[in-house]
Amino acid sequence: MIEVRDLVKRYKKADRNAVDGVSFEVGAGEFFALLGPNGAGKTTTISILTTTLRPSAGSVVIDGRDAVRDPAGVRARVGIIFQQHSLDLNLSGEENVRFHAILYGLYPYRPFFRAMPRAYREQLRDLAGVLGLEAEIFKPVKKLDEPTAGLDAASRRNLWAYLRDVRAAYDITIFLTTHYLEEAEAADRICILDQGRVVSIGTPEQIKADLLDEFLLLDARDRQALHRELDALGLHVAESGPFKVDLNGHSAQEVISSLRTPLTLLRTSSPSLEDAYLKIVGSSMEAMA
Amino acid sequence: MKEMHAVLAIASRDVLKLLRDRSRLVFSFVFPIIFIGLMGGTLQANLGRAAGFNFIGFIFTGVLAMTLFQSSAQGLLSLLEDRENDFAQEMFVAPVSRYSIIFGKIAGETGVSLFQAIPMVLMAALFRVPLTPFQVLLMVPAAIIACLLGGAFGVAVMSLLGSQRAAQQIIPFLIFPQFFLAGIFNPIKILPWYLAPLSLISPLRYAVDLLRGILYAGTPEYDKIVLFSPATNLVVMAALFAGLMVVGTVAFVRSETSR
């Protein structure tokens, strides 16, 4: 359970708030995505949530622990996966894993692999097996051919499959921040940030409905006749065609069946989440220009 | 207990990185040959008799303290490098206290520095610096103290400077003058009035003097070379260490969270 209340962050020497009054809640076991263009305040928000940055105002409570008053308590309850690979290239894959396992207090420190507890050794071999890296896991990462290439596409897929499994098995909450819409689309709920503020929050369906309406695109050789008919139906459109008809709750069927003018163009448009997102990002870019 | 294991993991990572870095290892063997062999050798041949003491031993203790201090101080800067790449982000979001991270880093860099001291001691023995096994044994804790002081100096500098670039530009100005103010190569028994106070605030000076106190103990030249008693040096270093650590860690935690 994550509760963010009226979060504000203004960096030193900045003349505007990087995060400007953000509030949201994430329920236990939920898959929540924080989405927004570059500079929207995602990194600032996640830095505050992971206790590496102190907010200017507002509060963050994660699993009952306050991020400012009890950062260690928060850190003990979250695990973080960074987007870029964050391996120490001088160490082997196994040494990287061991380092983090010890930092997270899962195992005691031992100077080499064979001295580690059996449970660790078995888990590591399992992991290497799953990744198909049995031979490579003990070699320094920088000595491997293309340590990242080849892993990326496959490991991305593996990661998502893994997260789905873990979530099902342990009822953990997943908090994703991304500017890739495709990644967010699978989330239970999405929060879209722009210029430090929450623009929209809800299920992907709600966001689509909030941000974009369904519309019909119509055209006819006799545009005047079509315009008159649409007017009569109470659907107001611009003077020049082709006409974009906002459905506002009407069904496309209902509109078309009442039209008599022969149409030369008929297209229905139901927005994708991408349209909704681009609309937000687009308007923010216009505002900046 | 968990924090102790985290400290060990962080420290051993630094030592492992040294052992994997062949060019750094080679350099740490070449360096003492240049300073102790070439520099100490020529000074001994030309000035040794006039000065009335063993110049190779003088250079050896100076360069040893300098290497330990500087290597530890500079090693701490890798924490900035870490912070600027993703690896450290992972370290900083792990449930480990900041004090453990800093302490692990100092312990690791101390290990790295001590490793580099081994070829120096071998070099000194080769050049007939009068060292008894007992003196070598006494030098081990003195060397560790020099490393810890260098590490604390590094923490303070790193935290106050904040970025790796600033640190790399400024640290030479903080370390280079100390080579002369601490008397690595040059005797500083007598100093002009305007240099004496500067020398007194150079942390490196006390680490050098402690090592010289061990090497020259009981010899007639002791009074010509050694400035303070080992006890005085230890007290000053303990105070400096505590002060630098407090300033450094407080500034580090602040710079991390209050940007």
Residue A26: DSSP 8-state: E
Report d(CA B66, CA B72) in Å as an integer. 10
Q: What is the pLDDT of residue B86?
A: 57
Q: In the structure, what pLDDT confidence band is assigned to residue A85 with cuts at 50, 70 and 90? A: low
CA distance B60 to chain A (A): 32
pLDDT at B85 over 70: no
Nearest CB partner across the interface for B9, out of A53, A84, A109: A109
- Put simply, the answer to whether B13 touches A11 (Cβ < 8 Å) is no
Instruction: Give yes or no for a contact between A271 and A211, defined as CB atoms under 8 angstroms apart.
Output: yes
**Average pLDDT along chain B:** 87
| Residue B236, both tokens | 């000053």
Chain B residues in contact with A12 (beta carbon < 8 A): 258-259
Whether A181 and A217 map to the same domain: the answer is no
Whether residue A258 lies inside any domain: the answer is: yes
Chain A residues in contact with B94 (beta carbon < 8 A): 75, 100, 103-104
For residue A199, the enclosing domain spans 2-82+169-208
Q: What is the pLDDT of residue A26?
A: 95
pLDDT digits (tens, 9 = 90+) for B222-254: 888 889 999 999 999 999 999 999 999 888 888
Whether residue A57 lies inside any domain: the answer is: yes
- DSSP code per residue over B11-77: HHHHHHHHHH-HHHHHHHHHHHIIIIIIIIHHHHHHHHHHHTS-HHHHHHHHHHHHHHHHHHHHHHT
CA distance B191 to chain A (A): 45
- Residue of chain A whose alpha carbon sits nearest to that of B97: A72
Q: Give domain limits for chain B.
A: 2-252
Q: What is the pLDDT of residue A155?
A: 65
Report how many helices (DSSP H) and strands (DSSP E) chain B contains, helices first.
13, 0
B24 compared with B150, residue with greater pLDDT: B150
CA dihedral A135, A141, A146, A149 (to 10 degrees): 90
Query: Could you tell me the end-to-end alpha-carbon distance of chain B, in angstroms, rounded to an integer?
Result: 31
**B61-70, B79-88, B168-177 — which one is most confidently predicted on average?**
B61-70
- B194 reaches A (C-beta below 8 A): no
pLDDT digits (tens, 9 = 90+) for B43-53: 878 887 777 77
Whether A34 and A69 map to the same domain: the answer is yes
**Average pLDDT along chain A:** 84
Range 131-160 of B in CB contact (< 8 A) with A:
none
Query: What residues of chain A have any CB closer than 8 angstroms to a CB in chain B?
Result: 11-12, 50-54, 72, 75-76, 78, 80, 82, 84-88, 90-91, 95, 98-100, 102-105, 107-109, 111, 140
Whether A225 and A262 map to the same domain: the answer is yes
Q: What is the pLDDT of residue A152?
A: 60
Report d(CA A105, CA A115) in Å as an integer. 16
Residue A140: DSSP 8-state: B
Strand, coil or helix: A24? strand
Determine if residue B252 is left, alpha or beta; phi over 0 gives left, psi from -120 to 50 gives alpha, anything else beta. Answer: alpha
- Put simply, the answer to whether B94 touches A86 (Cβ < 8 Å) is no
Q: What is the pLDDT of residue A285?
A: 58
Whether residue A223 lies inside any domain: the answer is: yes
Whether A201 and A232 map to the same domain: the answer is no
Residue A262: DSSP 8-state: P
Q: What is the pLDDT of residue A116?
A: 94
Whether residue A9 lies inside any domain: the answer is: yes
**A93-102, A143-152, A233-242 — which one is most confidently predicted on average?**
A93-102
Report d(CA A140, CA A42) in Å as an integer. 33
**A268-272, B52-56, B190-194, B221-225 — which one is most confidently predicted on average?**
B190-194
Q: What is the pLDDT of residue B178?
A: 92
Please, which residues bridge with residue A26 across strands? A2
Contacts (Cβ under 8 Å, ≥6 apart) of A50:
A74, A75, A78, A80, B93
A200 compared with A279, residue with greater pLDDT: A200
Q: What is the pLDDT of residue A57?
A: 93
- Residue of chain B whose alpha carbon sits nearest to that of A95: B13
Q: What is the pLDDT of residue B123?
A: 86
Nearest CB partner across the interface for B5, out of A88, A91, A108: A108
> Please, what sign has the CA dihedral across residues B88, B94, B98, B102?
negative
Mean pLDDT, residues B208-233 taken together? 90
pLDDT digits (tens, 9 = 90+) for A119-130: 999 999 988 887
pLDDT digits (tens, 9 = 90+) for A13-70: 888 999 999 999 999 889 999 988 888 899 899 989 998 889 999 999 999 999 999 9
Contacts (Cβ under 8 Å, ≥6 apart) of A162:
none
Whether residue A39 lies inside any domain: the answer is: yes
Say how many domains are in chain A: 2
pLDDT at A150 over 50: no
| Residue A57, both tokens | 């105002």
Nearest CB partner across the interface for A12, out of B5, B10, B259: B259
Report how many helices (DSSP H) and strands (DSSP E) chain A contains, helices first.
10, 11
Report d(CA A231, CA A241) in Å as an integer. 14
Mean pLDDT, residues A250-268 taken together? 85
Report d(CA B92, CA B90) in Å as an integer. 5
Whether residue A155 lies inside any domain: the answer is: no
At which residue do the structure tokens 């630098």 appear?
B244
ipTM of the complex: 0.81
Q: Is A60 exposed, middle or buried (0-12, 13-18, 19+ CB in 10 A)?
A: buried
- DSSP code per residue over A57-116: EEEEEETTEETTT-HHHHHTT-----SS----TTSBHHHHHHHHHHHTTSS---SSGGGS
Angle, helices B133-161 vs B55-76, to 10°: value is 40
Chain B residues in contact with A86 (beta carbon < 8 A): 85-87, 89-90
Chain A and chain B share a number of CB contacts under 8 A equal to 81
- Put simply, the answer to whether A78 touches B92 (Cβ < 8 Å) is no
Instruction: Give yes or no for a contact between B14 and B111, defined as CB atoms under 8 angstroms apart.
Output: yes
Interface test with B, best of A65, A88, A95, A138 (most B CBs within 10 A): A88
Contacts (Cβ under 8 Å, ≥6 apart) of B82:
B88, B91
Report d(CA B211, CA B67) in Å as an integer. 13
CA dihedral B26, B28, B30, B31 (to 10 degrees): 160
Closest to A82 measured CA to CA, from A177, A168, A214: A177
Chain A residues in contact with B9 (beta carbon < 8 A): 98-99, 102-103, 109
Q: In the structure, what pLDDT confidence band is assigned to residue A216 with cuts at 50, 70 and 90? A: confident
Whether residue A248 lies inside any domain: the answer is: yes
Beta-sheet strand order (sheet of A189-194): A174-178, A31-35, A189-194, A197-202
CA distance A275 to chain B (A): 32
pLDDT at A229 over 60: yes
- Residue of chain A whose alpha carbon sits nearest to that of B104: A103
pLDDT digits (tens, 9 = 90+) for B157-183: 988 887 778 887 888 899 899 999 999
Q: Which helix (H) or strand (E) segment is A197 a member of? A: strand A197-202
- Residue of chain B whose alpha carbon sits nearest to that of A141: B20
